[in-house]
């Protein structure tokens, strides 16, 4: 009888405590983490974070600046969230959700990359990078994410979390060394920056079709662009950190900082005249899809203008 009484008491406590309490220590799975992402976006559109399960100590940054949730930035200006152009990632092992999407800010297109950390049902960390006012945000852009980003990783593509980190992380070595051979790029690799395809896309650069005799860098592939020196203004890539690693989709999302020490407009040793560039640093978010142990697709979100040189992400590495 005593055992039956204790069993009944335990059941009663579970029922009266409610589902939130009974599941407070349960892992947040894919559906759970994606639901937190959707709730966040809905709150952003309403300019009201009060319904979100925020930790009292939640940390929030927009473009490296730490501000209070709801105080400024997209929390004040979001007027639409594109229902189609959305990337969802889940890292159940760390309780982290990732998102890339197209929004409108007072009617103008912006691109958002976001990381949410969920612990015991509450959001403890929110890290965002927002592209606004960039020439890359105008002109033709895809209506939806490339279908490759929606394919579940199976068979030989089902890599471990560490394998995905190792393969995708080499991209930053390739940029820093201006060497397309430093990372395992697929020959079919494509990169979209702030909603615009910047590889294998003749005339697709921000300046459009180049004048006669000029090199059409946008027509090159991922590896070719790096070896050509397209990003040679970037002296170093620091504060590298995997945001979300989704083993089910074979994808990894990273954040890093590109550091540009600056240069004047004069020919390099090879005779190519490069445009001048002011010093600065800028946070970037890069999403990689790994296929056949190679980088096949890249989706990048970064700022149209750099922050002061030496700026970081606002988070510990």
- Assess contact for 298 and 286: CB atoms under 8 A: yes
Q: List the beta bridge partners of residue 281.
A: 259, 307
> Measured between alpha carbons, how far is 5 from 228 in angstroms, rounded to an integer?
76
Answer whether residue 95 shows pLDDT above 90.
yes
Tell me the pTM: 0.88
Q: Is pLDDT at 316 greater than 90 in this prediction?
A: no
227 vs 72: CA distance, rounded Å: 40
Write out the two tokens for 138.
């105008």
Count of residues making up the chain: 317
pLDDT at 19: 35
Q: Do domains 30-137 and 147-302 have the same CATH topology?
A: yes
Could you read off the pLDDT of 198-223 as tens digits, one per residue? 999 998 877 778 778 778 889 999 99
pLDDT recorded at residue 10: 40
| Secondary structure class of 34 (helix, strand, coil) | helix
User: What is the pLDDT confidence band of residue 268, given thresholds at 50, 70 and 90?
Assistant: low
Q: Give dist(CA 215, CA 72) in Å, integer.
A: 42
pLDDT tens digits along 9-31: 343 333 333 333 333 446 899 99
Alpha carbon of 223 to those of 43, 99, 171, 201: distances in Å? Answer: 40, 26, 10, 14
Q: For residue 47, is pLDDT > 80?
A: yes
Average pLDDT, the chain: 88
CATH number of 30-137: 3.10.450.50
CA distance 293 to 186: 9
Per-residue model confidence (pLDDT) at position 264 = 79
How do residues 150-175 score in pLDDT, each as one tens digit?
999 999 999 999 999 999 999 999 99
Q: Domains of the chain: which residue ranges?
A: 30-137, 147-302
> What architecture does CATH give domain 147-302?
Roll (3.10)
């Amino acid at each position: 009888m005593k055992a039956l009484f204790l069993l009944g008491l335990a059941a009663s406590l579970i029922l009266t405590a409610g589902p939130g309490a009974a599941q407070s220590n349960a892992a947040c799975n894919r559906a759970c983490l994606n639901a937190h992402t959707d709730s966040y976006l809905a709150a952003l559109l309403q300019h009201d974070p009060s319904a979100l399960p925020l930790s009292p100590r939640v940390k929030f940054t927009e473009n490296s600046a730490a501000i209070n949730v709801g105080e400024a930035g997209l929390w004040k200006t979001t007027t639409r969230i594109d229902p189609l152009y959305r990337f969802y990632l889940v890292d159940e092992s760390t309780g982290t959700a990732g998102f890339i999407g197209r929004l409108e800010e007072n009617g103008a297109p912006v691109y958002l990359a976001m990381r949410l950390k969920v612990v015991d049902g509450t959001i403890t960390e929110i890290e965002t990078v927002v592209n606004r006012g960039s020439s890359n945000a105008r002109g033709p852009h895809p209506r939806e994410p490339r279908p490759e980003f929606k394919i579940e990783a199976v068979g030989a593509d089902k890599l471990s979390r560490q394998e995905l980190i190792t393969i995708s992380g080499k991209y930053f070595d390739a940029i820093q060394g201006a060497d397309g051979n430093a990372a395992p790029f697929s020959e079919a690799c494509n990169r979209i920056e702030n909603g615009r395809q910047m590889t294998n896309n003749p005339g697709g650069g921000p300046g459009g079709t180049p004048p006669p005799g000029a090199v059409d860098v946008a027509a090159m592939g991922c590896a070719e662009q790096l070896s050509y020196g397209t990003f040679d203004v970037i002296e170093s890539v620091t504060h590298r950190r995997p945001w979300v690693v989704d083993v089910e989709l074979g994808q990894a999302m990273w954040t890093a900082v590109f550091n540009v020490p600056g240069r004047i407009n004069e020919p390099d040793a090879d005779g190519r005249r490069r445009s001048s560039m002011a010093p600065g640093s800028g946070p970037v978010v890069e999403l990689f899809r790994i296929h056949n142990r190679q980088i096949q697709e890249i989706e990048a979100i970064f700022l149209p203008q750099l922050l002061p040189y030496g700026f970081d992400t606002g988070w510990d590495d």
